[in-house]
């Protein structure tokens, strides 16, 4: 077993030393001026990251907590929402809605396919009483990116709220909330934001806040109207996850200072890096004779790889960790053994992805024809020659 494991999973992701050191500083009190100053700076960065003039609320929860908070603060029992399902996390929207007593209309696409704008509009035309559309930006279980930019153009034409799970896309690919017309954008700390799990972040548009004012919150803890009142005072409604917010402030500072690891900072550099890593990983996988599971509309933060016949994804993942010290992810049920997922989100670079590609190649029962390292050269060429990232967030449509 290796002394140090290289973490290339779609959450949690590697934590930069600078962020770990910030979180290791002596504890400060969450109701005192020192913490208020930290949260004030974090709020500034979060608005830039989300592309919004609205407040971004920090919640002490996983990303699923933010999904739950969005549903229970916006929709009342008996109301109807549209749920886009094309993977495990689309199914989670349905489960949350059903617990809340909502009526769901579902668009079901096969795993590996994207839900398109025309799919959304067809349902909205049939159901004039739909109040919201709940969808992932990146469906982490399949490595597919739904075309949220185009979907937002449709939802703006109807009296509905677009609620977008950006857990595996915020800080990885563009989704400027105000510019695109996204009504709710949420994420978690443990993916593109390079912080341990336990913190979620959520923002409402002005339209969403108006709907929230008309909705009686059904949960004492996830009361977002109360959270908003407190965050405007640089506080959280309940006890703050101080260390996580301190780490988030440091991670956000890194993003805006030097997102491209020496190629200049800011979101443009950050998105270009992840887009180039996606091109690199897909090219390397294809060069060793494998096929990406997501053929089109593929994610920028992870590459899903279809397993050859008689190759178990979960066994390959275990062997890769044991033999190379590289930790990647298998698929999720019901496709645990049919795919693997190789993540390139957060604090990673091309060296990490070369190690990931090597781990996959070495762990295959039958070594690829390009095991002479030709696949590495092909992957690096794809990285160096990657085109400018698509501003609408959609790759390979």
Instruction: Tell me the per-residue pLDDT of 323-337, one tens digit each, with 9 for 90 and over.
Output: 999 999 999 988 999
Every domain of the chain and the residues it spans: 6-12+261-384, 17-255
Third-level CATH fold of 6-12+261-384 = 3.90.1150
More confident of the two residues 257 and 96: 96
Residue 6 tokens, joined: 């290289």
Per-residue pLDDT at 369: 52
Burial of 76 (0-12, 13-18, 19+ CB in 10 A): middle
Lowest mean pLDDT among 73-77, 112-116, 147-151, 260-264: 260-264
Q: Evaluate if residue 358 carries a pLDDT over 70.
A: yes
Distance, CA of 128 to CA of 301 (rounded, Å): 35
Instruction: Tell me the per-residue pLDDT of 194-203, one tens digit each, with 9 for 90 and over.
Output: 999 999 999 9
Instruction: Tell me the per-residue pLDDT of 79-91, one tens digit each, with 9 for 90 and over.
Output: 999 999 999 999 9
Candidates 1.10.8.10, 3.90.45.10, 3.40.640.10, 1.10.3720.10; correct CATH number of 17-255?
Answer: 3.40.640.10
Q: Which residues of 18-41 are buried (b: 16+ CB within 10 A; e: fewer)?
A: ebeebbeeeebebeeeebeebbee
Q: Evaluate if residue 72 carries a pLDDT over 90.
A: yes
Per-residue pLDDT at 372: 65
Per-residue pLDDT at 263: 46
Per-residue pLDDT at 2: 44
Between helix 350-363 and helix 313-324 the angle, nearest 10°, is 120
Q: Evaluate if residue 25 carries a pLDDT over 50.
A: yes
Quote the mean pLDDT of the chain.
Answer: 94
Distance, CA of 217 to CA of 110 (rounded, Å): 34
> Pseudo-torsion of CA 224, 134, 168, 286, nearest 10°?
180
Per-residue pLDDT at 3: 53
Lowest mean pLDDT among 31-35, 181-185, 243-247, 308-312: 308-312
Distance, CA of 302 to CA of 7 (rounded, Å): 13
Residues 6+ apart with CB under 8 A from 251: 16, 19, 193, 194, 195
Per-residue pLDDT at 333: 87
Per-residue pLDDT at 261: 47
Confidence class for position 368, pLDDT limits 50, 70, 90: low
Asked if residues 143 and 172 have their Cβ atoms less than 8 Å apart, the reply is: no
Instruction: Tell me the per-residue pLDDT of 238-291, one tens digit each, with 9 for 90 and over.
Output: 999 999 999 999 999 999 985 444 444 799 999 999 999 999 999 999 999 999
């Amino acid at each position: 077993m290796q002394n140090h494991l290289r973490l290339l999973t779609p959450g949690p992701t590697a934590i930069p030393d600078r962020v770990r050191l910030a979180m290791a500083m002596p504890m400060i009190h969450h109701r005192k001026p020192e913490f208020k100053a930290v949260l004030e700076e974090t709020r500034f960065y979060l608005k830039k990251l989300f592309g919004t003039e609205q407040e971004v609320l920090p919640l002490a929860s996983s990303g699923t907590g933010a999904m739950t908070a969005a549903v229970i603060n916006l929709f009342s029992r008996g109301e109807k929402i549209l749920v886009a399902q094309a993977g495990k996390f689309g199914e989670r929207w349905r489960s949350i809605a059903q617990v809340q007593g909502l009526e769901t209309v579902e668009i079901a696409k096969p795993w590996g396919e994207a839900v398109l704008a025309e799919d959304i509009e067809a349902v909205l035309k049939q159901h004039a009483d739909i109040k919201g559309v709940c969808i992932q930006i990146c469906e982490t279980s399949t490595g597919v990116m739904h075309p949220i930019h185009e979907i937002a153009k449709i939802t703006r034409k109807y009296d509905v709220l677009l609620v977008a799970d950006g857990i595996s896309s915020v800080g990885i690919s563009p989704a400027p909330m105000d510019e695109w017309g996204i009504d709710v954008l949420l994420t978690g700390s443990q993916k593109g934001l390079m912080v341990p799990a336990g913190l979620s972040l959520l923002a409402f548009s002005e339209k969403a806040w108006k709907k929230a004012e008309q909705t009686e919150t059904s949960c004492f803890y996830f009361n977002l109207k109360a959270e908003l009142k407190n965050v405007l005072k640089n506080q959280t409604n309940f006890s703050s996850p101080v260390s996580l917010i301190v780490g988030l402030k440091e991670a956000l500072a890194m993003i805006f200072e030097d997102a491209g690891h020496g190629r200049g900072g800011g979101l443009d550099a950050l998105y270009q890096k992840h887009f180039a890593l996606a091109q690199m990983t897909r090219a390397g996988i294809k060069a060793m004779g494998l096929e990406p599971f997501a053929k089109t509309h593929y994610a920028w933060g992870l590459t899903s790889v279809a397993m050859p016949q008689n190759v178990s994804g979960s066994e390959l993942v275990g062997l890769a960790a044991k033999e190379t010290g590289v930790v990647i992810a298998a698929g999720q049920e019901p496709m645990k053994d049919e795919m693997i997922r190789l993540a390139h989100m957060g604090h990673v670079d091309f060296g990490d992805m070369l190690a990931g590609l090597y781990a996959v190649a070495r762990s295959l029962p039958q070594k690829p024809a390009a095991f002479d390292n030709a696949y590495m050269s092909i992957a690096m060429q794809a990285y160096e020659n990657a085109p400018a990232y698509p501003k609408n967030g959609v790759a390979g449509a």
